């Protein structure tokens, strides 16, 4: 293989390595985490926390209601059992009973409100759990596809690397140094094909003598416009 053909081949390999490496980085990033799953999980956890807080409050209020019921029962018994005869004491008991009945009634309203809130929050938790499950299922599929792509990319890159080494071994150090430097300074395009008698990159017309040398010779010819290596 002549020197320019080898350089052209090297550049084709290097460009694919660049492209595959960039894609591999994107795949790795996508595999590392998915913000949609995190967001869905955070929302679900927040709703679940609200629900468990509400349930705890409801249980406390229910306990409060039980002890109020016991107190009411006790007051009723004392008031109507006939064991208390003193009118002043009876009046006091009666007022106490009324006060506890009012407390119980207020508590009933609160209990209804809480039960309503529990029901609504439970509904939101169900919706959120469902949406989290969907997001997670989709993520599972994505991860599978991404893992497969990751494997394919790594295999291809290993293959390209071997090809690259082989191609570089065919070139002398001066040609490689020139090529590497042009790749760095010319946006990855060190070698460019002629388009008729013009440079395929910058479009400058290449003198006929140079065109002939590019087409026939086994030598590096630079574009007079952009300084890239010209290939037939």
22 contacts: CB under 8 Å, gap ≥ 6: none
Structure tokens at 167: 């191609």
Q: Map residues 148-187 to x or -, x wherever contact with Zn ion holds by CB under 5 A.
A: ----------------------------------------
- Is 226 a binding residue for Zn ion by CB under 5 A? The answer is yes
What's the length of the chain?
A: 232
For Zn ion, which is the closer residue by CB, 52 or 185?
185
Question: Helix-strand-coil percent breakdown of the chain, rounded to 5?
Answer: 80, 5, 15
For Zn ion, which is the closer residue by CB, 132 or 228?
228
- Is 44 a binding residue for Zn ion by CB under 5 A? The answer is no
> Are 211 and 232 a contacting pair, CB within 8 Å?
no
Of 192, 184, 43, nearest to 124 by C-alpha is: 43
The CA-atom distances, in angstroms, between 121 and each of 43, 46, 61, 64, 128 are 12, 11, 18, 23, 10
Using CB under 5 A, pick the residue from 61, 202, 213, 232 that binds Zn ion. Answer: 202
Could you tell me which stretch among 41-49, 65-73, 165-173, 195-203 binds Zn ion (CB under 5 A)? Answer: 195-203
For Zn ion, which is the closer residue by CB, 125 or 190?
190
Closest distance to Zn ion from the beta carbon of 190 (Å): 11
Closest distance to Zn ion from the beta carbon of 180 (Å): 18
Number of residues that bind Zn ion (CB under 5 A): 6
The CA-atom distances, in angstroms, between 40 and each of 10, 44, 47 are 47, 6, 11
- Is 225 a binding residue for Zn ion by CB under 5 A? The answer is yes
**What does the binding site for Zn ion look like in residue numbers (CB under 5 A)?**
199, 201-202, 223, 225-226
């Amino acid at each position: 293989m002549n020197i320019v053909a080898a350089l052209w081949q090297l550049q084709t390999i290097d460009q694919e390595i660049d492209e595959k490496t960039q894609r591999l980085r994107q795949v790795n990033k996508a595999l590392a985490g998915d913000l949609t799953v995190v967001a869905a999980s955070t929302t679900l956890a927040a709703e679940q926390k609200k629900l468990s807080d509400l349930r705890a409050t409801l249980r406390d209020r229910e306990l409060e209601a039980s002890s109020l019921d016991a107190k009411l029962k006790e007051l009723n018994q004392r008031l109507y059992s006939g064991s208390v005869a003193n009118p002043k004491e009876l009046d006091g008991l009666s007022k106490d009973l009324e006060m506890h009945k009012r407390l119980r009634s207020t508590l009933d309203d609160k209990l209804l409100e809480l039960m309503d809130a529990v029901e609504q929050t439970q509904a939101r938790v169900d919706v959120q759990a469902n949406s989290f499950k969907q997001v997670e299922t989709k993520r599972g599929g994505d991860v599978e596809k991404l893992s497969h792509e990751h494997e394919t990319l790594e295999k291809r890159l290993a293959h390209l690397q071997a090809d690259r080494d082989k191609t570089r071994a065919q070139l002398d150090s001066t040609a490689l140094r020139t090529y590497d430097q042009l790749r760095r300074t010319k946006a990855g395009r060190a070698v460019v094909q002629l388009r008729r008698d013009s440079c395929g990159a910058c479009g400058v017309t290449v003198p006929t003598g140079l065109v002939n040398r590019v087409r026939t010779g086994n030598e590096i010819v630079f574009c007079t416009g952009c300084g890239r290596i010209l290939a037939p």
